[in-house]
Amino acid sequence: MAAILVPDRGQREGPMSVNGTVVKLRPTAGPAGRTPPPRQRNIDRRPREYLTPAEVELLMTTAKRRGRHGHRDATMILIAYRHGLRVSELCRMEWSQIDFATGILHVVRLKRSISTTHPLRGTELRALRRLKREQEPSRYVWMTEHKTPVTPGGFRQMFRRVGEESGIGLAIHPHMLRHACGYKIANESADTQALQHYLGHRNIRHTLRYSELANGHFDGFWKD
């Protein structure tokens, strides 16, 4: 009769051989006999995965009031939102990507996305000029007081705290800014291909989720 072995703590679950007989190891519980809880799904933590334009404005207003880095933090939120940047793309931004004379941002995409150029509006240009004027010369746009670039982890922590202080009532994370950008443009334009290039999607299927859920599809359902 084959034995059933219980692995020691830290031993992987899986088959093993004992005296030529293959037996299967049972998984053990976590520390103190407790089984770790399953990871909570995003849908269980928050009702949606995007922010509204009004919520983004509230976050920027809240960030501006948070001490000496308020302008930098609010500008990071603005640029991430307006250009649908992933947090890693945002934190790697260099001044060489910004052409103040022509009002152009050279967007460098990651995750095999397509890089492109975006126009910079007056609000963005003024905020970026002020930031460059007030901080010491650097290669990267977003710098800490220790003269090092803001890291993705640092931005996530700041963004979470701003969300809590704003009273927005939603557990937020930076990628919601990219989704907010996609949904806003989809609600205001029917050009899905243009949105695809703006967000840098190689496959248009990733873009369709924004256009398919745009509010405009439901206009006119009710006449009163």
List residues with catalytic annotation. Answer: 86, 111, 175, 178, 201, 210
Q: Which helix (H) or strand (E) holds 200?
A: none
Q: To the nearest 10°, the Cα dihedral for 82, 86, 92, 98?
A: -20
**Which residue in this structure is represented by tokens 């945002």?**
90
The span from the CA of 80 to the CA of 97, in Å, is 14
- In the chain, the DSSP E strands lie at 15-18, 21-24, 98-99, 104-107, 116-119
* Alpha carbons 45 and 86: distance in angstroms, whole number: 21
CA 208/CA 191 separation, integer angstroms: 11
AA letter at 169:
G
